[in-house]
Amino acid sequence: MAAGHAAGYVRGAPLPSLGEWTEKSRHDFATQVDRSAEAMIVETLTRLVPGSTVVGEELSPSALRAGEVVWVVDPLDGTTNYLHGYPQYAVSIGCVVRGALCVGVVHDVVRDLVYRAGTGYGAWMGERRLAISPITEPRHALVGTGFPFKRLDVLEAYLPQFTAVMRASSGVRRAGAATIDLADVAAGRLDAFWELTLAPWDFAAGVVLIREAGGIVTNLVGEDDVLSGGSIVAGNPTLHRWLIDLLGQARHTGSD
């Protein structure tokens, strides 16, 4: 409900003019549309679940593990895409209960597709149950990624990884909205995914989707607890292991 209302609002809102953009930092923009969508989500979630906490980039990121029920919200993932009319952006809501991710919803705004998952209930797009890709041969794999556009200091570490994956796979894609990328992994459209500089609100819902679709999501060193933020590596068990190893090798090669 909360994601759907926010997605409907974003879809119908006039596109902000350049003068209405707020530049929070280099390459990182926000508008009144983001803020209004966020307010709608907060009002809905806290009304439906009294006493719950909502965290996000503009809210209370330090409270991620502080409450019994914590919502992890990105009201408009892919803001730069949205501002340029590039049709790849989404509303994302994850839920953490007693410190564990257990529910995720990603609403693809442009396509009006709703992805949802809950621990033990599977991952779904509408009435279709999602399953990760069965591809296990890296040379056949289509791999998603995200550039460290907010952390240009990480480019030196990222570029050797990008090169290694390009050489070993059938292709690499970067569309600019991690929430949709992760939904694509859960749906089997992408065979694997990695990114180095994500915050919890960028991936919380997507992690639940992939895990419930049969995939694995860890940080770059293979740890399951990803809520502290940072790196994400996802895929089926075979490609996840391959990608973890390949990225590690590229990281060590790049540091030589």
| Strand order across the 230-235 sheet | 171-173, 142-146, 192-198, 230-235, 216-218
Which CATH superfamily, name and number, covers 2-129?
Fructose-1,6-Bisphosphatase, subunit A, domain 1 (3.30.540.10)
End-to-end CA distance of the chain: 50
The full DSSP string for 38-86 is HHHHHHHHHHHSTT-EEE-TTS-GGGTTTSSEEEEEEEEETHHHHHTT-
CATH of domain 138-255: 3.40.190.80
Domain extents in the chain: 2-129, 138-255
Spatial separation of the C-alpha atoms in residues 124 and 128, rounded to whole Å: 6
Q: For residue 177, give the 3-state DSSP assignment.
A: coil
User: Going residue by residue through the chain (256 aa), what tens digit of pLDDT does each one get?
Assistant: 799 999 998 999 878 766 566 655 554 557 788 889 999 999 999 999 999 999 987 555 556 666 789 999 999 999 999 999 999 999 999 999 988 999 999 999 999 999 999 999 999 999 999 999 999 999 999 999 999 877 878 889 999 999 999 999 999 999 999 999 999 999 999 999 999 999 999 999 999 999 999 999 999 999 999 988 789 999 999 999 999 999 999 876 655 4
Question: Any idea how long the chain is?
Answer: 256
The answer to whether domain 2-129 and domain 138-255 are alike in fold is no
